[in-house]
Amino acid sequence: MKPEARVRAIQSALERELAATHVVVVDHSASHAEHPGAAGGGHFEVLVVCDRFEGLGRVAAQRLVYRALADLMQTEIHALSMTTLTPAEWRARSEIRS
């Protein structure tokens, strides 16, 4: 899968599986091109804002993300870092940036 297609697939899966209200996917694969394990997939960072994270701890929210991306984790994603936020947490961060 081409890099742009990987990003779209990740974003679509998170929006579809989690009903995420805001998703940002950053592809860091180019900076890891020589990494031995990266041949089978890319390196990505995601920000996911989702109502389903409400009341969950960080690890539980991350598990939901991993489940939503399970198929892609097998083929298209080698490494994934993530930030998971509820809509209220996202709004609070946005207010700080304003």
CA distance 76 to 93: 30
For the stretch 27-38, pLDDT in tens is 988 765 665 555
Q: How many CB atoms lie within 10 A of CB 57?
A: 10
- DSSP SS3 for 25: strand
Sheet bearing 42-49, strands edge to edge: 22-27, 42-49, 77-85
Parse the chain into domains and list their residue ranges. Answer: 3-97
For the stretch 18-68, pLDDT in tens is 999 999 999 988 765 665 555 556 899 999 999 999 999 999 999 999 999
The CATH classification number of 3-97 equals: 3.30.300.90
pLDDT value, residue 18:
98
Please state the pTM of the whole predicted model. Answer: 0.87
pLDDT of 3 > 90? The answer is no
Pairing mode, if any, of strands 22-27 and 42-49? Answer: antiparallel
Percent of the chain with pLDDT over 70: 87
